[in-house]
Amino acid sequence: MRRFEKKVVFVSGGSAGIGRTTVKRFAAEGAIAVFCARGGEAVAAVEAEIRDAGGIGEGLVVDISDHDSYVAAIEGTAAKHGRLDVFVHNAAYLRQGALADVELKIWQRHFRINTESCFAANTAAVKIMKAQGGGSIINIASIATARTVPMHGAYAAAKNAMVSMSKYLAVENARYNVRVNVAAPGMIDTESLRWSFGHDDAAAAAVEERIPMGRFGNTDEMASAILFFASDEASYITGQYLLVDGGKGDQLIV
């Protein structure tokens, strides 16, 4: 199935984890898959993987906390390829800590990367998509926007602001056929998840057992939700928030 044949897609945070899988999935379905990340070697590696699989991938080295550079990458992609069909804001920043102990500069960094970067990129993408007659934006949130996850207060606050912003953009731009949706991952098995457990397999296993489905999700499962929102199959869906979490967000007992 090639739902994105010749579609122009831009994914931030595309060199690892959910972003990496998502970029490769878009390319496998025929998209011109443009992505950005901070590390040049990781960007080149993903480009090579896409090329070796017969797809089209273009990697850019961009730090999304530099809003001007982030917007320039998005606008440059649309200018180069003549349009922007799908935009996925995936890159994020998380530093764990009890909320009362979080320094103001760390609080502000959470908002700069998770909220303000998303705002800058989304508004740039909306303007491009309005002018061309439509498009799809998917912003990646977190289960921390549905549950109170210990030591994630600053991150959750910033991501919740992003969720609210997404809904406003969806309603305000629906008449222009610009769709904006949010996909929120639960415990998806990535390097960053393993890092959050200090690479302690026993600790990870204890959490995994408490997920209703009894396991962590994988990046393909998360990418499937993102690609659905981006596809014509979701043409009448906008302003929605989807947890991809194995049932954890609806579970009473932690």
User: Looking at the annotation, which residues are catalytic?
Assistant: 155
Q: Is the dihedral of CA 225, 231, 237, 240 positive or negative?
A: positive
Distance CA 114, CA 111 (A): 5
Asked if 30 contacts 23 with a C-beta cutoff of 8 angstroms, the reply is no
Give the 3-state secondary structure of residue 224: helix
Asked if 118 contacts 91 with a C-beta cutoff of 8 angstroms, the reply is no
Outline where DSSP puts E strands in 82-204: 86-89, 135-140, 178-185
Distance CA 187, CA 136 (A): 25
Asked if 146 contacts 243 with a C-beta cutoff of 8 angstroms, the reply is yes
CA nearest neighbour of 22 among 57, 60, 73 = 57
- 61 beta partners: 37
CB atoms within 10 A of CB 114: 29
Backbone angles phi, psi at 198, to 5 degrees: 65, 25
